[in-house]
Each structure stands twice: as C-alpha cells, then as structure tokens.
Amino acid sequence: MTSATEQPTTVRELETPAARALTDLAAIFDDLQIVLRCCERLVAQLDAPSAEPDDLMLEALWTTAVLSYGRCFAGGRRGMGLTESDVTATPLRGEVLRWHEVLRELREHYAATEENPRERFSVGVAQDSAGQVSGIAITSTSQPRLDDRTVRQTGALAYELGKVVDERITAQQQRVREAANALSRADVDRLPLVPLVSGYPS
C-alpha cells in the first residue's frame, strides 16, 4: 500500500490466487456497502412523516439490497464468499440465521425470470346474478409491503458482516503485499498495466 499522501505513478495487475481472493473480498465489501446505503434510504423513505412512500423507489432500493446481499454468499473466483457460519458468528441476537435464509429466498424470488415479484395474478370466470358467465376477471394479490423493521434488520446484518469482511481484506492485503515484495523488478515490470484515471474530462 502507498501512504495517504503518496500517489502511485504506475499500477500493475496481479493475477495470483491471493490477489484474486482479495478482489473477491473487495467485491463482497462493496456489495455490503450497497446494502447499507439502500437500507438507509429505505428507512428515510418509510419514516418520512409528510409523504406517502414512493412504491417504485422502495422496490428499486429493496431489490438492489437483496440481490447485493445474496451475491456476498456466492463462491467468487477464489471461494471467498461469506458463509452461514459468518452470519451466526455476528453479535446480533435473535433468529439471525433464519433472517439470513429469508433474504436468500427473497433473492431467488427477485431474480426469478418467470415470476412478478410485486403481484400474484389469477384469472377467473365472472358470473352474473343468474349464474351465467358474464366475463373474465383478472385479479391480483399484492405482496406484503416493505416495513421499517425488515429494512433495519437487513441493514444491521450487512453492517456486522461488513466488519468481518473488512478484517479479512486487511489480512489479505498483507499477504498480497508480502508476495509482491518478493517479486523481482523485472517480474513486476512484466505485469500488465492498469490504467489510472485521475478525473473525468471537463
């Protein structure tokens, strides 16, 4: 790592197993941060005293939070995904593992290509007072509305898991740094360059 004041002039890509593991951890941490940001915005939407929550905004934020949470438990390129043991090891009380399982189930529900996550539709035959068919009725049942407790529980879990991943990133960075220090200058110079972007063109 460079110091806070030292700007690197060149960055070269490492494709070692340890480096790939670190990229997995960084991606997981980023997803957990997205979960937290979504939950913060959801709480603000749900707790706003003067306005009815925007259903579209709620759905967009909640779906993003659930999908991001689910990705944290995928294996990743080097198998660094979180596990149920990580969930149960958090200091959170109550049915933490069950809530984790619910979030994983919701992730499958939101990612399904054949289901509408908002409504369940059915078709029926409409009858008149004499019992004769008078038409076809399409009815729908809305899914339960998102509530503050659901969001706060999810945010708390993401926060605790974020601390776990942050510790793993620190340890993994040290391993990668030690391996990089063992490379010769010639080996480092042969690594592919990573473009550095200092800002956007005006």
The answer, yes or no, to whether residue 200 has pLDDT greater than 90, is no
- Alpha-carbon distance of 154 to 62, in angstroms, equals 10
- Residue 24 CB neighbour total at 10 angstroms: 22
Cβ contact 66:102 at 8 Å: no
pLDDT digits (tens, 9 = 90+) for 14-23: 888 889 899 9
Cβ contact 29:166 at 8 Å: yes
> 139: helix, coil or strand?
strand
pTM score above 0.85: no
Least confident of 5-9, 104-108, 160-164, 186-190: 5-9
pLDDT digits (tens, 9 = 90+) for 157-175: 999 999 999 999 999 999 9
The answer, yes or no, to whether residue 108 has pLDDT greater than 70, is yes
Say what the alpha-carbon torsion angle 131, 132, 136, 140 is, to the nearest 10 degrees: 0
